Amino acid sequence: MEMTAFFLNQLEREMAASRKVLAEVPEGKNGFKPHERSMEMGYLAALVAQMPAWVAMMIATEELDLADKATSGQFQAKASESKEALMKLAEESYAKAKEALQGTDEERLKGTWSFKMGGKVLNSGPRTAQIADAFTHLAHHRGQLTVYLRLNEAKVPAIYGPSADEKVA
C-alpha cells in the first residue's frame, strides 16, 4: 500500500472518532480545566479540530518553527464559541489534509520535515514518520478531551471500542 493511501485511510478513521468526540463538547464550558496546569477545554477542543490541517502543512512545508509567529500563528488553536463553529473547523481541517494527501506523491512523503523552536530542532525525519506522529498526537489530545467530557457529565462516545456511554454492537 502506498503511504498516501495509508494516510488517507488513517485520516478517515481518526476524523470519524474526532467528530464523535467534538460533537459532545458542551457549549459554555470553554474555560473549564481540570487542573491549573491543564489546557482549557475550548482550546483543547479547537486543537483536536485543527490538528488534521497539520498534515497539509507538513506536506507543503519543510519545517515549522514555533518561535516564528508569522508562520506558527496560523496553527495556534483558538476556542470556538459554538459547537457549529467547532465542527466547521474540524471539517475544514479534514478537507485540507485530504486535499494535500491526494495531491502529493511518495517522493514528497519520503522527504525530511522538521519541527523547531527558535531554530533548535526538536524533531526531524521523513514526512511519513512526522505525519504518523501527528496522528498519534491527535489521538492523545482527543483522549484528553474525553476526560474533560466525563468531568463535565457529557457523554463519552465509543472510539476504538465501547465506552460507558456508548456500547458497540
In a domain, 166, yes or no: no
Residue 162 lies in a domain: no
For 46-105, the pLDDT digits (tens) are 999 999 999 999 999 999 998 887 776 677 789 999 999 999 999 999 999 999 999 999
Q: Is residue 168 part of a domain?
A: no
Domain assignment present for 156: no
The CB density around residue 1, as the number of other CB atoms within 10 Å, is 6
pLDDT at 1: 66
Is 33 among the domain residues? Answer: yes
Q: What's the number of domains the chain is made of?
A: 1
Residue 35 counted as domain residue: yes
Tell me the CATH number at 112.
1.20.120.450
Report, as an integer, the average pLDDT of 148-163.
96
Residues in CB range of 5: below 8 A, 6 or more apart = none
Phi, psi of 132 (to 5 degrees): -60, -40
Residue 38, domain extent: 3-151
For 32-41, write each residue's pLDDT tens digit. 999 999 999 9
- Strand 120-126 versus strand 112-117 pairing type: antiparallel
pLDDT tens for 1-45 read 699 999 999 999 999 999 999 999 999 999 999 999 999 999 999
Residue 110 in domain = yes
Give 90-137 pLDDT, tens digit per residue.
999 999 999 999 999 999 999 999 999 998 999 999 999 999 999 999
How much is the average pLDDT of 154-166? 94
Residue 10 lies in a domain: yes
